[in-house]
Structure 1
Amino acid sequence: MEIIELDPKSESVKSVVNEIDDLMNTLYPQESNQLLSIEELMSDDVYFIGVKNGKEVIGCGAIVRKCNDGIYGELKRIYVKPNYRGKGISKSIMNALIAYAKEERFPAIRLETGIKQSEAINLYEKLGFRKRKQFGSYLYDPLSIYMELELCV
């Protein structure tokens, strides 16, 4: 399994992004979804990586440089297709994003996730993320959990 940088304009990326959107829209009301668009994934402030099986993107994740509440990296679009779960792919993607954040000297990584995503929350906690209050431009949402990993840089 190889972690590679993804091109947000590719059809395989568009397909997985649509799959993520469909899933999130079945779990939460639209106003609770904080999803990055394809256009936002193309920003210079975004590092977007994933894993492919042939031409198909089977997992992905992004980290966005933020400066609106101190400097930090925000995780977005962390996802592994259902048929590939339980194989350590999400952990590999997360470790690659954490390594990137350390290289970029971010003092912390933050994320917002939904209360119905217990497997993801468990992974984040195993990686050292701790719950915190909302951050940046997020308003309190009872369907959201906000987390942070402090980095020693």
Structure 2
Amino acid sequence: MQISFETADQPDVHELIAELDAHLYSLYPAENVYALDVSSLAQPNVLFAVARDAGGAPLGCAGIVIGPEYGEVKRMYVRPVARGQGVGRKLLAALETSARAKGCTTLMLETGPTLVEALALYERLGYKYRGPFGDYPADPLSVFMAKALT
């Protein structure tokens, strides 16, 4: 498996994001899905990583939007066939290293309470539960976490 920083505006990455969207919208009402579209992922303050298998097929993706006060993990997704193989862990490690190199000292994220595997991964990687941040409202369908990169 290879992790590389790429643009999200590629047909095979569009498929990953469409799979993620379908999954999220099957679990949560639209007003509780805080997704970035492909054009938002192409902004200069966004780090976007893709995990690919040996043949180049995408296994997963994730991004970090770097703001003035913190970076926010967005669009984290690993295809079901690749889960349990360390793809998510390696994506986040690459993104955290790059965010740290750009001077980012804290990462935040919002996810859903039914995404048990994702929550377990974030906990294992040192993310701590916290309250809402930014423009997110307090909501029972949102879980907020943060990690210091220092």
Which sections of structure 2, spanning at least 5 residues, go unmatched?
A: none
The match for 2:43 is 43
1:59-138 equivalences under 5 Å are 59-67=60-68, 71-138=69-136
The equivalent residue for 2:5 is 5
Residue correspondences, number: 149
Deviation by residue 1:29-71 (Cα, 9 ceiling, x = unmatched): 000000010110110010100112334321101000123xxx1
Q: Counterparts of 1:102 and 1:115 in 2: how far apart (Å)? A: 27
Q: Which runs of 5+ in 1 are unaligned?
A: none
Question: CA shift at 1:6, angstroms?
Answer: 2.1
Tell me by how many angstroms 1:100 deviates. Answer: 1.2
Q: Which letter does structure 2 place at the counterpart of 1:65?
A: I
% of aligned pairs identical?
Answer: 36
- Please state if 1:56 is matched with 2:57: yes
Q: TM-score w.r.t. structure 1 length?
A: 0.94
Correspondence for 1:14: 14
Q: What's the C-alpha RMSD, in Å, of the aligned pairs?
A: 1.0
Partner residue in 2 for 1:148: 146
- Provide the rounded CA distance (Å) in 1 between the counterparts of 2:100 and 2:56: 30
Return the TM-score normalized by structure 2: 0.95
Q: Distance in 2 between matches of 1:42 and 1:112?
A: 20
